[in-house]
Every structure is written in structure tokens, then in C-alpha cells.
Amino acid sequence: MTTFAEPATIAPATATDLLTRLRAAVAAHPDRPAVHAADGSLDFAALNRRTAALAAALRAAGVRRGDRVGVHLARTLDLPVALLAVWRAGAAYVPLDPAYPAERIAFMAADARLTAVVSADPAPPVPAGVAVLRPDAEGPAAPDTVTHPLDPAYVIHTSGSTGRPKGVEVPFGAVARLAANLEAIGAHRSEPAVVAWNASVSFDASVPQWIRICRGDTLVVVDDARRADPARLAALLAEHGVTDLDLTPSHWQLLREPLLDPRNGAGVPRLFMGGEPVPERTWRELADGRVEAFNLYGPTECTVEVIAARITGPGPHLGEPMPGVRAYLLDERLVPVTGPGAVGELYLGGPVLAHGYAGQPGLTAGRFVADPFAPEPGARMYRTGDQARRTAEGLLEYVGRVDRQVKLRGFRVELGEVEHAVAELDGVTAAAVTVHEPAPGDTRLAAYVTGPAADPATLLAALRRTLPAHLVPATVTVLDAMPLTPNGKTDHRALPAPAAEPAAESTGGGVAEQVAEVWRTVLGVPEVLPTDDFLGLGGHSLAALRVVHLLRRKLDVELQLRHLLDAADLAAFTEAVRRATTTAPAAARPALTPRRPATR
């Protein structure tokens, strides 16, 4: 059942050109803040000048309409400048997160067949022959390159079940449709907003956040350190008067206390939940009227968000398809399932579909299939792999997956990709990867291997050199043999509990040993060295909160997340813990000191 009103028709000349709206915003209010970041601010006039200069430099370097340009930049003012400049040059951007291992970046750059890359690094890990431009580069002035609705706007790599990341190519027309749909359902109001850019540019959730600048909204770029620290993030939102915040339910659990704290001063912005299912408890909390919140669902292959619901009343549920989106629940024969509660696989169609997987026609054909229900000939639909059902009111509810894809703190993870990476390591004869939850709300990857010479610490170190942090397992357990199903395949349900973790409550040893013990406990690793980096060991924001909480309890020391996230390694953090033992008493502590988050 679709009840969202269809947006006004968008003229073809501007359907792909979000830059048309940006130029209107520049003309209407050149002095309004356009971007705030840790390294400064830009108004709309300055943003226009910088993007025009970089776009000119890209054209001078040989970038043409339809080309792909890598963006290898941290979360600074340079990042939105580069993305807009790539579009003004008529090209598609390919995010290359500098935090990723060099080998991963090199693969994505080669897979995308880049013409150029924008990077602050003079020698980024991209193939020879790719032009490298600095974000402050300038070229001869020229009009913006005119694009077509079917021209690619970006290529974002997602986890791949075959062990190879997939580059999802999304056209400009689909991005424009996303923007129009969010306005049509009331998610984006007509008055100027202040929007937190919270998601990594390497993930599709960043798209509806950063393109808000094209409609004249102010963008607040959240750097990684503040994103992971609830108190500092709440302070940042209050400082800039953020009105709109997009985040995962897991991230909301970290932020809820400082944001709901009346000392915050600014109140809670409008929330856009996505990336993972909303737990029932969180739905009830947000539906009580104190916060205006939306639940947004959609895969990367369908331009981020295609099903929406205001978080009110009973739930949780996904809601209804956005305008123009066709949603089908089908069985294995592609026959519609009918009636409230009947479960089927969710297929999606309409003007929001990506072109497919760049350079992988076979994989594209397997997921983007002919749509026999569409009114127009030649239409396609995307097989999501998600199972869903309809309520008696016609709303869609998420049920589960038909494959081994999981969501981990909002990241889309194909367990097959991680298994492939583990199996390729020296000393491993067989590998399996699954998820486990040692504490409520703390979901981790667990790897299992066989091999007479397999060493967990060595294997984890090797994985960190090739995989992004969210794909590195928290533990590796060595087995004598993999449990098998009757047909000879790995029986993932029969895998034992992951390797035992050290106890967390020991009070013996000095400060250095107790800090190291907490790291081992929280990260699930057998050993940590003074030179080890917390994030490099697979740490994340929830794990960081657990570290701080345990050390406060064990050592009666006042710590904040910045002490952990700003430390270069274990030795530096241990020194910060020692210094913190001599800080001011509790009465003088900051008002927004992070507390232990609520768990699901």
C-alpha cells in the first residue's frame, strides 16, 4: 500500500542537476554558512568559488562527462568541496577513505577505473597514470559540464559475498529522485536546516546527508573523533544548532543520554534512523512525542532510502514505499505473497535503482532482474535479500535475511567476504565467520579456522592490513575441524562459542597491566602491545565506552572518550589514564561527561 503523495514532476533538465539548486542558494544567500568542519567554515559564496576552481582543475586534468574521480580525503572542509567539484566537472565520485588499508584503497581505485583522484596525500595508493590533484587545485574558468539523468553520480563499494567488494554505480537521476522524495514525505522541510554529516562518505548513508547543501541547508561535518564521543558530539550539535541528525539505532543508544540531558541546552534534533533495524524499545522511546523521528530503509543499490515511516504509534516497522517506488513481496517463484503476515522476499523497482555493479555484468544480472509487474516495458527490480511482511494496515515490517549478509553497527557486511579474506591467509586450511553478541547491543564478528600452524594474533594482524576495521573479526578461534552439515558444507550453527576472553574484573597489577587487561577484554584479543592502536585492533564507539566505563570502575579514575580516541596507542592511553588520576574532583567534572549507554 502506497499513500505517500507523488512529488511534483521534475523537469528533465534539472532532474539530475542538484547543482542548479546550489547555484540558486548561492545567489539567494551568499553569506549564509554552507559548511562547518573541524578546520573552519565556508559560506555559500566561498564554497562556490572553491568548487568552481577545483572543477576547472579536474577538466584541465582530462576529466570528462561520465568519468570517475576518486576522493581520498579526511572529514574536513575539503571533502564537500571535492564532491561538488567532481559533479561540476560532470563526473562521478568514488570515495576512498584514507582510514582504509592501502591495499583496499588500491583495489577500489583500480576497480573503478579512475581518471583522477583528489587527495591531500601527494602519493595516494592509486594506479599509475591516474592524475592526482590537491583539493585546493585551480584551473581555467569554464561552465559546469552538463550531465544527463543516466550519467553516473557516484560509485560506492559495498561488501561482496565473493570476497570482492562491489562498486554500486548510481545515476544522477536517482539521486535527484531521492532528494525530491525526502521533501515529498516531509522529512526535509522547506525552511533552511542545519544538518549533521554523520556518516562516512564511503557509505551510502552519507548521500542524503551531504546533498542537503544543494538545497541551501548548512552542513556540519562530524569528524571521526567527535562522532565516537557522545559528549563531544552533543556539544558540537548544540554549538551549531543542528536541526537534523541521521544515525543508526546503535549510535542513538550512545547519544541518547547527553542529547536528552536538559543541560544540553539545544534539545534533540529531528532524527533519521537507518542502517539497521530499530529495536522495539528504541521505537517506543522515540514514539513518545519528545523527539520527531523517521525510520528510513533502503539498500545502496536503490539509492539509500526508499521506504519510510514516521516513528509514531505501535512499531517497529519500515513503513511505506516512497513516491514512485514499487515494493513487492515475492516467493521463490516470483509470485506475490498476499495477506497480512505473509512473509516474502522484498523486491524494489522504480526510478531509484542503481545501474548495477560497475564492471560486473553477471553479478548485476543476478540481482537486478526483469520487473514483470511494472507498467513500462524493460523495467527492472532489485532483489534485496531482505524478508518482510505486511501488517493489517498495509505497512511493511522487516523479518530477516535470506542470505548471510548482516548489519554491524550500521555497516553492511557480507560474511562471505570476510571468510574469503581469512581463508586466503597463510596457515589456514578452512575458515568460517559468524556473529556473536557478548553483551547486549555489542555485536561482533567471530572467525574460526583450521590449520596446524594457524595463530590467532598473526591472522588478525594480517587481516588489519587488508580489511577495513568494521570487517576485521574481534576473535579468531582455531578448531581441529569445521563442523559440517550432512551435505558436507560448513555448519555455521554448530560452531562453538568464540575463544574465551580474559576476565574483566581482576584488580591486580599496576595501571599499565589493568589498562591492557581491559583492552584485551573489550576487544576480545589474546594480547595487546604498547604500540597497538585501539581502532586498529577493531575498536569502535561502543567498545570505547566499555573501556572507559570499566576503567572508571576499576581505578576510580575520571576519564572521557577523547582520552582513548585521541591516544596514538596503548602506551599513550595508559599515560593519559595516569594523568587523569590527578584531575579535578567529581564536582568540577564537565556537565556532559559520557555515562554508560542504555543497551537493547
pLDDT digits (tens, 9 = 90+) for 268-285: 899 999 988 888 888 999
Of the listed ranges 64-68, 223-227, 410-414, 425-429, the one predicted with least confidence: 410-414
pLDDT at 14: 38
β 368-370/396-401 pair status: unpaired
Q: Are 55 and 49 in contact (CB under 8 A)?
A: no
Higher pLDDT, 160 or 2: 160
pLDDT at 168: 97
Quick one: average pLDDT of 357-382?
Answer: 94
Of the listed ranges 188-202, 331-345, 564-578, the one predicted with least confidence: 564-578
Cell numbers describing residue 401: 535475511
pLDDT at 4: 62
Residues 6+ apart with CB under 8 A from 163: 416, 417, 419, 420, 421, 424
pLDDT at residue 132 greater than cutoff 60: yes
Q: How far apart are the C-alpha atoms of 440 and 338, rounded to whole Å?
A: 35
pLDDT at residue 100 greater than cutoff 70: yes
pLDDT-derived band at 126, boundaries 50, 70, 90: very high
pLDDT at residue 582 greater than cutoff 90: no
β 307-310/244-247 pair status: unpaired
Cis peptide leading into residue 7 (ω within 30°):
no
Residue position matching grid coordinates 522511546: 285
pLDDT at 11: 42
pTM of the model: 0.77
pLDDT at 421: 85
DSSP string, 80-99: HHHHHHHHHTT-EEEE--TT
Q: Are 44 and 26 in contact (CB under 8 A)?
A: yes
Q: Which of 506, 507, 573 is nearest to 544 (CA)?
A: 573
Q: Are 330 and 344 in contact (CB under 8 A)?
A: yes
Residue 315: CB atoms within 10 A of its CB come to 21
Domains and CATH numbers, the chain: 15-390 (3.40.50.12780), 407-494 (3.30.300.30), 511-588 (1.10.1200.10)
Per cent of the chain over pLDDT 90 is: 50
pLDDT, one tens digit per residue, over 396-427 is 999 887 877 777 766 778 787 888 788 888 88
Average pLDDT over all residues of the chain: 85
Quick one: average pLDDT of 12-34?
Answer: 83
Q: Which of 70, 156, 64 is nearest to 117 (CA)?
A: 70
Q: How far apart are the C-alpha atoms of 438 and 523, rounded to whole Å?
A: 11
pLDDT at residue 590 greater than cutoff 50: no
At 587 the three-state DSSP class reads: helix
Q: How far apart are the C-alpha atoms of 10 and 16, rounded to whole Å?
A: 9
Quick one: average pLDDT of 213-227?
Answer: 91
pLDDT at 204: 94
Quick one: average pLDDT of 458-470?
Answer: 85
Give start and end residues of each alpha helix (H) in 61-194.
78-88, 102-112, 172-184
β 33-37/218-221 pair status: parallel
pLDDT at 444: 80
Higher pLDDT, 233 or 43: 43
pLDDT at 15: 42
pLDDT-derived band at 502, boundaries 50, 70, 90: very low
pLDDT at residue 586 greater than cutoff 60: no
pLDDT at 531: 82
pLDDT at 439: 62
Q: Which of 113, 47, 115 is nearest to 83 (CA)?
A: 47
Q: Are 133 and 53 in contact (CB under 8 A)?
A: no
Cell numbers describing residue 94: 568514488
Q: How far apart are the C-alpha atoms of 398 and 297, rounded to whole Å?
A: 10
pLDDT at residue 316 greater than cutoff 50: yes
pLDDT at 253: 78
pLDDT at 424: 82
pLDDT at residue 165 greater than cutoff 50: yes
pLDDT at residue 81 greater than cutoff 90: yes
Cell numbers describing residue 418: 570476510
pLDDT at 3: 53
Higher pLDDT, 557 or 79: 79
pLDDT at 600: 24
pLDDT at residue 2 greater than cutoff 80: no
pLDDT at residue 237 greater than cutoff 60: yes
The b-or-e profile of 256-268 (16+ CB within 10 A means b, else e) is: bbbbeeeebeeeb
pLDDT-derived band at 493, boundaries 50, 70, 90: confident
Q: How far apart are the C-alpha atoms of 423 and 418, rounded to whole Å?
A: 9
Q: In what order do the strands lie in the sheet with 33-37?
A: 40-43, 33-37, 218-221, 194-197, 244-247, 270-273, 293-297, 307-310, 320-321
pLDDT at residue 65 greater than cutoff 80: yes
Residue 58: CB atoms within 10 A of its CB come to 28
pLDDT at 508: 44
